[in-house]
Amino acid sequence: MDPAWSLELLQRAAPTVERLEVVCPREPHLRAVHAMPRLRRLRLDCDDALDAAPPELGALPPGHSGLRWLHVSGFPRATTESLLQAHGGTLEELVLWSGTPGERGWPWSCSDLHSLLGRCGLRALRRLLLWRPGSTSHTVRACGEQRAAVRAALPGVQVLCGECDHGL
C-alpha cells in the first residue's frame, strides 16, 4: 500500500472514525490515528519498523474523546507506554502483547510489566488481557507471578492471560 495515500486517507477520515484497525503503521500514520477525535476502539499491530526510532505520543489533542478499548501488539516499549499514558483516563479494556520474564526483549518478554502499567495512569481500566502469541515467553508459574504483580499495581482490574485463561 502506498504510504502517502494511506496517510491522506487517515487524515481525511479522522473527524468521523470511531473504530479502526491499523497494521504496520509508520510514525506519520500513528500520529494521524492518535489525533482522531472520535476514536474509541483501536487495534494496532506493528512489525519492527518503528524500533530504530520509537515514536512517543504526547497528550491527546483538545476535543479527543479518548480510547475505551485498545489492542496493541508489536510496538516498541516507549511507544506502547506513551500510548497507554495518553489514554489512561478513558481506557477500560486493554489487550496487550507481553511475555513473562525471559531472555528476549520487549514484547516477547517483560520482567517489569507491573511497573510499566503502574506508570501509565490507567484510572478507567477494568480488564487487561495479556496476549502471548507464538514464541512469546510464558510459563504458568511466571505468568501467575506477573499477573499478581499487575493486580497489585492496578487494583480492581481483571487481569487475564490468553494462554492460562483458555478460550480468550
- Is the preceding peptide bond at 55 cis, omega within 30 degrees of 0? no
Q: Name beta bridge partners: 71.
A: 43, 95
CB 96 within 8 A of CB 69: no
Query: How confident is the prediction for the chain on average, in pLDDT?
Result: 94
Q: For residue range 56-100, list pLDDT tens digits in order.
A: 999 998 889 999 999 999 999 999 999 999 999 999 999 999 999
Q: For residue range 139-162, list pLDDT tens digits in order.
A: 999 999 999 999 999 999 999 999
Report the predicted TM-score, pTM, of the whole model to 2 decimal places: 0.94
Sign, Cα dihedral of 151, 153, 157, 163: negative
- For the chain, the domains span 1-65, 92-168
CB 117 within 8 A of CB 154: yes
Q: Which amino acid is at 23?
A: V
Instruction: Indicate the burial class of 97 (C-beta count within 10 angstroms; 0-12, 13-18, 19 or more).
Output: buried
